[in-house]
């Protein structure tokens, strides 16, 4: 089947299972997930969705998220949007939703799927705190920027390689412009997205944030110092746009309707702009500088230990929803230094998961259901998409999740050690992980050295995760419970990377 036909077929299969075009309120996608705002969650057929060949998993959060994997999601989303528009146009009555397709019969008795789903639901309930919801909003500002960060990051890496080799000298200046143009104006995009996320007029948020990168601010003095274009970076842009939203909302309440179109935009830009120039740029600049200085100090002085802790704790941070606080930090480091030294260390958490999953595969030779899940989810895990392995294998089993974190800790410690020795390993973009991060690697040494250190970290994570899980990941009771032959059945996980959810049972003991 041609790629376009395959993507169209995937979109066509998904649409009726989420309640049809009339049930879809919003459509977006990130690196791996199709994110849908749905009017009526009860119209969704979760089990049938998991059986769609391209679907790795489904996640219910503030939006309904269908995990399709990197690359695939960017191709399926336009097809899905087209089908939704066609469905709305053909609808005879507004608000009438297409009935979902009948649920397919459950094809897998994998008990881990139910436990993983139960744990995920419990995690979601615990994560719905005001602070974590705020972090999620911050993440929503930066996630749409990831494709541009990746594209520009890869071009920057290619340009650096050509410059070092002395090749295509007439082309490298153009590549440098392509790679740097977005980063030079990233504050504007952050301001636009921030205003949109917090309920203001997006273009006003972008207009206020644009002040930060305007070259003319070099002629302005604040706190006894001359300002510099870009001072404050993305943090300043975020603060300026949030302020603009509050000013705009105040104006909407008090400015007469007849004057609103003239007065509200003017006061929003004027008042927010003055505070940005004479306050936020300086304060945010100091904070941004402190973040960069602290990251350098942390890895220069405690690299191995810091990498061990960061690599080992990243997955628990993800489970708690606290990892979203790292996104502005990554972006600030990329803006300041050209790469973030934290992401390659945190990516080692996925390596630990892969090693642990392989160990589970060998420790449960009779359980064909779990082994099928691992075989189908492992390629995605190698590319940094860890949900199928986490929720389908290691987390429900208990101990393997802990030993996977141990693998991530050793991989992070390996990369951190080389940072401490002066060989920085960074990523020019955020989003990808695992093998998908190789094209985005950068550092203060040659590309070969940087790639070798990152690859060594992955191998350390794989090996330690495997050994820790193989020898310490199973108690006798756990082996007795799960290393049993399963009833032969056609498993949906072979195509989806995510098993169906059978009746629940108590989670496996740690």
Give CA angle at 146 (273, 76), nearest 5°: 130
Instruction: Look at residue 445 in the predicted model and tell me its pLDDT.
Output: 87
Token digits of residue 152? 């520009």
- Report yes or no: 336 and 369 within 8 Å, Cβ to Cβ: no
Strands of 165-301, DSSP E = 221-222, 225-226
* Residue written as token pair 């459509």: 27
The reported pTM is 0.69
33-38 vs 64-67, strand pairing mode: antiparallel
Q: What is the pLDDT along the chain (510 residues), one digit of tens a residue?
A: 566 678 888 999 999 999 998 899 888 887 778 889 888 888 898 888 988 888 888 887 778 889 887 668 878 888 899 899 888 887 644 444 444 444 333 334 345 555 555 555 555 555 556 777 787 788 889 888 888 888 888 888 788 778 877 888 899 999 989 988 998 899 999 999 999 999 899 999 999 999 999 999 999 998 888 999 999 889 999 999 999 999 999 998 998 888 888 999 999 999 999 999 999 999 999 998 898 889 888 888 888 999 999 999 998 887 766 777 788 888 889 888 889 999 999 999 999 999 999 999 999 998 888 888 888 888 888 988 777 788 778 888 888 999 999 999 999 999 999 999 989 999 988 878 889 889 889 888 888 899 999 999 999 999 999 999 999 999 888 888 887 775 544 433 433 444 444 433 344 443
30 is catalytic: yes
Instruction: Look at residue 327 in the predicted model and tell me its pLDDT.
Output: 86
- Report yes or no: 211 and 217 within 8 Å, Cβ to Cβ: yes
- Report yes or no: 395 and 324 within 8 Å, Cβ to Cβ: no
Instruction: Look at residue 4 in the predicted model and tell me its pLDDT.
Output: 67
């Amino acid at each position: 089947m041609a790629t376009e036909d395959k993507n169209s077929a995937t979109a066509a299969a998904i649409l009726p299972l989420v309640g049809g075009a009339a049930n879809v309120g919003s459509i977006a996608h990130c690196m791996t997930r199709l994110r849908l705002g749905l009017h009526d969650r009860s119209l969704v057929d979760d089990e049938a969705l998991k059986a769609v060949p391209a679907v790795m998993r489904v996640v219910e959060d503030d939006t309904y998220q269908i995990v399709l994997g990197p690359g695939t999601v960017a191709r399926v989303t336009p097809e899905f949007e087209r089908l939704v528009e066609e469905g709305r146009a053909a609808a005879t009555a507004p608000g009438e939703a297409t009935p979902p397709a009948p649920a397919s019969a459950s094809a897998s008795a994998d008990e881990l799927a139910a436990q993983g789903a139960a744990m995920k639901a419990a995690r979601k309930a615990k994560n719905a705190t005001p602070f974590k919801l705020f972090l999620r909003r911050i993440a929503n500002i930066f996630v749409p920027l990831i494709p541009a960060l990746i594209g520009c990051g890869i071009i920057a890496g290619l340009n650096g390689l050509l410059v070092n080799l002395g090749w295509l000298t007439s082309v490298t200046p153009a590549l440098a412009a392509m790679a740097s143009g977005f980063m030079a104006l990233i504050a504007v995009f952050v301001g636009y997205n921030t205003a949109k996320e917090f309920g203001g007029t997006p273009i006003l948020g972008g207009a206020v944030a644009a002040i930060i990168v305007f070259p003319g601010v070099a002629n302005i003095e604040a706190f006894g110092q001359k300002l510099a274009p870009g001072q404050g970076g993305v943090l300043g842009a975020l603060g300026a746009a949030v302020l603009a939203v509050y000013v705009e909302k105040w104006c909407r309440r008090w400015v007469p309707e007849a004057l609103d179109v003239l007065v509200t935009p003017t006061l929003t830009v004027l008042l927010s702009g003055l505070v940005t120039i004479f306050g936020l740029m300086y304060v945010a600049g100091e904070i941004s500088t402190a973040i960069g200085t602290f990251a350098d100090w942390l890895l220069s002085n405690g690299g191995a230990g810091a990498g061990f802790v960061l690599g080992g704790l990243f997955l628990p941070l993800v489970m708690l929803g606290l990892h979203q606080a790292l996104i502005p930090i990554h972006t600030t480091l990329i803006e300041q230094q050209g790469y973030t030294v934290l992401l390659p260390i945190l990516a080692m958490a996925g390596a630990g998961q892969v090693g642990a999953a392989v160990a589970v595969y060998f420790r449960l030779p009779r359980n064909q259901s779990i082994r099928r899940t691992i075989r189908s989810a492992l390629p995605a895990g190698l590319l940094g998409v860890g949900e199928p392995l986490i929720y389908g294998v290691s987390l429900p089993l208990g101990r393997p999740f802990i030993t996977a974190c141990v693998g991530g800790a050793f991989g992070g410690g390996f990369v951190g050690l080389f940072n401490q020795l002066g060989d920085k390993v960074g990523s020019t973009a955020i989003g990808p992980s695992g093998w998908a991060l190789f094209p985005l690697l950068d550092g203060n040494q040659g590309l070969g050295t940087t790639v070798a250190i990152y690859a060594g970290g992955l191998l350390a994570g794989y090996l330690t995760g495997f050994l820790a899980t193989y020898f310490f990941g199973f108690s006798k009771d756990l082996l007795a419970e799960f290393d049993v032959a399963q009833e032969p059945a056609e498993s949906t996980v072979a195509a989806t990377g995510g098993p169906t959810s059978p009746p629940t049972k108590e989670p496996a003991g740690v």
